Every structure is written in C-alpha cells, then in structure tokens.
Structure 1
Amino acid sequence: MNRINAEPFSTPLTEHGEGPVWLGERGLAVLDMLAGDVLLVDSAGRLTDRIHVDVVAAAARPRKNGGLVVGIERGFALLDTKNVIESHIECWDDRDVRMNEGATDPWGRFWCGSMANNLTPGAGAMWRLDPDGTTQRLFDQVGCSNGLAWSVDGHSAFFVDSLSDRIDRLTFSPAGELTGRETHVDLGGIGFADGLTVDAEGGIWLALFDGGRLVHFDAAGTADAEIVLPVRQVTACAFGGDNLSNLYISTSRYAMERPEPLAGALFVARPTVGGLPVPAFAG
C-alpha cells in the first residue's frame, strides 16, 4: 500500500476537531464540534476567527451568496457574511440525539445526519435542509452519521454510518431525490470510520478515528494508499488550497488518557490526485 506523508498545518486549535471545509479566499473552516464553534483558519494555518453557533457544531458549508450553513445540535443555523447567526431551525427536541457531520449536494441542499449521544444503534436519522428553509427526514436507523460526499458525476454519494463498518453508496434520480442505498466498501473491521472526501478520480479518503490514519480506496473500492499521522484520533479530511491539491486533516484530543502534543491540530498532505469543488448551499 502506498504511503503518503502528512505534516502539521496548524498548532492544536480544537478539543474535538471535525469537518474541515475549504472556503476559497477565506481559507479553511474547521469545527471544534463539542464546543459548538466554527473556526476560520487562513492559508498559513493561523486562526483568524472562532464563531460560537450552538452546543454542537456538526458540519459547515459555504452559502451561495456568502456566509455559512451549519448543522447544530438539533437542527441547522444560517450565518451571514459577517458570521452573525441569521436563524436557527430546530428539527427535534430530544436532547439525547444530536447532529454529527454533513455536506451539501449538487442541487444546493444541505444534508446532516444525527446520532445518539450514547451511540445507541439506529437512534439517528439523515436530515436535509432545502434552500427554501424546509427540512426533510430522509431515512432512519442511523447509528453514528459520519462521512458524506458526492461522487464526481453527482449521481451518487458516499456515506458512513460508523456503527455499520462499511461505506454505503446512495443513488439519486435526475431531480436529486434519493432512490437507493447499497454497500460500496465493506471495511472489514479496519477501524472506526469517521469523515471522508472524494477525489477528482472518484477515490475516497476515509479517516479512521483512534486509528491514527486515513485510508484511500480507488473508484472500485480497493484500498491502495494511506496517510499515517502522529495522533490517534483522526476525524475528517477535505481538499483545498491551490487547485484543490492539498488534503487538510482534522484531529481530536477529546477524552484522551495519554495526551499527544499535536492532537487537535490540523495536518496537510499532498496526494497525487486532488479534490473537487464543494457545492454551496443555495439558501
């Protein structure tokens, strides 16, 4: 298996870093998830802003006309171009269930999946925020919603329920409606699957929480490369930088018994294949 090097991109910035996303000239957004904060980091790895949005900040994506859409503890928040919260949208009232990772689709809608705080199997669901502000509960029986990213052609998406030990492929109609779900990769117990991203050739980079690495699967689903980090709790990854050629990696120091000096820092690697632009939320 090919091994690619990673290097620190920032100092430790988060307790539980998650969900990096490239914002172009604004640099990188990354989440301190359980602090409920969105952090903005410039192209040199320097923290430029920390925005508190809720008890939980589960996922963030840019909006078409500026600002951010964020998955929060029990729903969604919209931030304007000055990072001020415009609105909160609550989807449920059970405090034992919270959002956990999401992404925008090619039709400009924002998806975010939920999980029980105690990881009860099947207690979560996949939700979608549409540009008009309405929400839909798309499917249930989610254990721990994690990586979500669309394919190169936009006709399908790759989704991780960390309790399922697999990467699933979701398929869509031409109008963007969910039509099917099947196993894309059986992970075979390689570790606790966390965030993922898709590269320009249809391969998948998958973070393994508590595994200290990311694994790459080619378009056919075969593992062919890895990135090993000096921290165990590797959470998510996203392409960014010039030509989307950098792979930014978030890490966590949450509940660590043995502190690691670089846990909570961002890392960067440079695979031979770069990434895809992130669709903006159309609302």
Structure 2
Amino acid sequence: MSSAITTLLTGYAFLEGPRWHEGRLWLSDMYTHQVLSVTADGGDPRVEARVPGRPSGLGWLPDGRLLIVSMRDRLLLRREPEGTLVTHADLSGHAIGHLNDMAVDRHGRAYIGSFGFDLGAAEPPRPASLLRADPDGTVTEVADDLWFPNGCVITGDDVLLVNETLGNRITAFDIGPGGVLGNRRVWARFGDLPGEADLGTVLAQVVVGGDGSALDADGGLWVADALHARLLRVLAGGTITDEIVLPTGVFACALGGADGRTLFACTAPDFDEHARSNAREAAVVALRVPISAAETPALS
C-alpha cells in the first residue's frame, strides 16, 4: 500500500491514546499532562483536561462523559459535564507499575492494562494483570500473565483484543455477561514469549512491539510497532497485510476522519521518559487507507 504521509501536529512531548470521537481526534500528551482534541486536519486545538498524574488511555461512558487513565497515581478519572475531574475508580491496590492504555465497552466497563514493573528504573519485565473498572468504580482483575498489556480494542461482537508489547502477541478474550472475560486465545503470534531476563535482553527479543491499535471494518487491526518504527495491519492468525515504515518511532494509531479512512499515528524519536519530558518532538501524522474504521458497537 502506498499513501502520502502528512504531518498534522508538531511540538508536543509524547502523544498517546488517539481516539476519533464526535468529529475530532482526541489525544493524551503525557509529559505536558494534557488531554487534547483537534479537527481532522489538526486545526482548532483544545485542551480538554489537565491530568497531573500523566494521562494515557481515553474512553467514554454511555452518557458521554470522558474517562482518562491517570498513569502514575493509578487512577481512572472522569470528566463531569462542567469540566471538573473526579476519581471514577482507584486501581492503586491492584496494578503494579504505571497504568497504561484502555478500552471501554458499550456498558461503560473499562479494561485497563499496567506495566507490571518499573520501566523507568529498567527493572526486569514481569507479567501483569488486566483490570476492569465498572461504572460504579469497582475494580476487578480479569486476566493475568500478560506481558505489558497495552493498546486494546473491542470488536463489534464483543471480543477484546489486547496488544502485549513485550509478549510478541495479541491476545483475545470474549466479553461475557457482567464483563467477565472468557475463551482466552492468541489472536496473533509474532515470536516467542520472553524468558526471565533483563529489560534490554527482552526488548531485543521482541519481533512486534504492539502498542496502540485501531480496528478496521474488515477485521484488520492496525498496530503501532513501538520498537521498530512501523505501522502494521494484522489479521486474526497473525498475517501481516500491510507494513508502513516511518522515519521515527510510532507509538499509537487511530482510524477516523469524515469517512473513517484516515489513519492517524502518534510519533516521537523514542519512548525515553527523560528525553521526551525535556523536548517537544512528538507529532501526529496521517495517511489514507482503503478500509474504513470499524463501527463502534451501539451503546446499550
């Protein structure tokens, strides 16, 4: 596939969690502690929220209120209609390391990953759990043994897909009554699971470091490969149909625009916290793809 890549936004710290919602692209700029939104061409930028604990995954409740993952304090925040932020759920007693990305289902249940170890201190990686925060704030561990559970999406038939950035795989779960996850399986495998090793050794073993992702209408999953500066379109079973190599790191993506066929991607030179905190080199790029975004399941 060949498509021109255009730059929509520049001058940010580290952009993550892109979502197309109500005609705008929403993003978290982690190290400036802001949630932003812009139009499809990068215009009319708005600061939607300020999150001192570092914003990451974004989602919406059925009534339209915004949910924001606050990474460092391991909270899920909710933006009220007047704009104030309140604690929606406290995950600090369940998560190890920082919180990560999130997907919200049609009932307002949020599925949230965590690092599982201290990435900033270069601790040896360990498997982590996936947590579910219900609309009443109840937090439940719904899956374990996930290697850095990161970008996640929910399909129209209620299947949760979770990128395991350090696990060389995408794992699928059926979402059952009450948000219980079942029928766990490997949706795509790219290599072996890491063994007991230091962070550098594990990173060197990663074939596809799946970070943020976006689902298209034909069941393909666009994956930002955070360790190899590329966007991949992956099918169930692991077939890669498209590869787009970028000149810099890419860490998340979303499908949107008026017809759902614009692929937005969040780029930066690397994911080093110190470097990104002290520079403004992150950007959003966009390209046109032939298959539109999957329809979001109707809220009920």
**TM-score interval (norm. to shorter):** 0.7 to 0.9
Q: Does 1:6 align with 2:5?
A: yes
Gaps of 5+ in 2: 192-205
- Residues 71-90 of structure 1 mapped to structure 2, 5 A cutoff: 71-73=69-71, 74-90=74-90
Whether the 8 Å contact between 2:26 and 2:37 is mirrored in structure 1 is yes
Q: Distance in 2 between matches of 1:66 and 1:185?
A: 32
From 149, 169, 179, the equivalent of 2:172 is 169
C-alpha RMSD over aligned residues = 2.8
- Aligned residues of 2:188 and 2:235 also touching (Cα < 8 A): no
How far the C-alpha of 1:164 sits from its partner, in A, is 0.7
Q: Number of matched residues? A: 275
Which gives a bigger RCO, structure 1 or 2 (Cα 8 Å, sep 6+)? 1
Following the alignment from structure 1 to structure 2, what is the Cα–Cα distance between the partners of residues 94 and 174?
22
Match of 1:210 among 207, 219, 227: 227
2:243: which partner in 1?
A: 226
Q: Which amino acid aligns with 2:190?
A: L
The Cα of 1:132 is off from its aligned counterpart by 2.2
Distance 1:57 1:3 in 2: 33
The reply to whether residue 193 of structure 1 matches residue 210 of structure 2 is: yes
Q: Indicate the residue corresponding to 2:134 in structure 1.
A: 130
Residues 281 and 174 (structure 1 numbering): CA distance in 2 closer, same or farther, change over 3 Å? closer
Tell me, in whole angstroms, the C-alpha distance in 2 between the residues paired with 1:21 and 1:281. 17
**Structure 1 stretches of at least 4 aligned residues deviating more than 6 Å after TM superposition:** none
1:180 CA drift (Å) = 2.4
SS of residue matched to 2:259: helix
TM-superposition CA deviations, 1:155-182 (whole Å, max 9, x none): x221112111111121233654211221
Note the alpha carbon deviations across 1:122-142, whole angstroms, 9 max, x for none: 353211111222221212333
User: 2:290 corresponds to which letter in structure 1?
Assistant: T
2:184 maps to what in 1?
181
Q: Note closer, same or farther for the CA distance 1:175–1:139 as it changes in structure 2 (3 Å cut).
A: closer
CA distance in 1, matches of 2:101, 2:181: 18
Matched residue SS, 1:55: coil
TM-score by length of 1: 0.85
1:178/1:205 Cα in 2 relative to 1: closer, same or farther (>3 Å)? same
| Sequence identity (%) | 27
**Deviation digits for residues 239-278 of structure 1, max 9, x if unmatched?**
11113221111123443979xx994111112110011244
Where in structure 2 are the equivalents of 1:43-82 lying within 5 Å? 43-46=40-43, 47-49=45-47, 51-73=49-71, 74-82=74-82
Q: Measured at CA, do residues 280 and 60 of structure 1 come closer, stay the same or move farther in structure 2, by a change above 3 Å?
A: farther
Structure 1 residue ranges without an equivalent (≥5): none
Shift of 1:40: 1.7
Letter paired with 1:209: A
Tell me if structure 2 keeps the 8 A contact 1:104–1:278: no
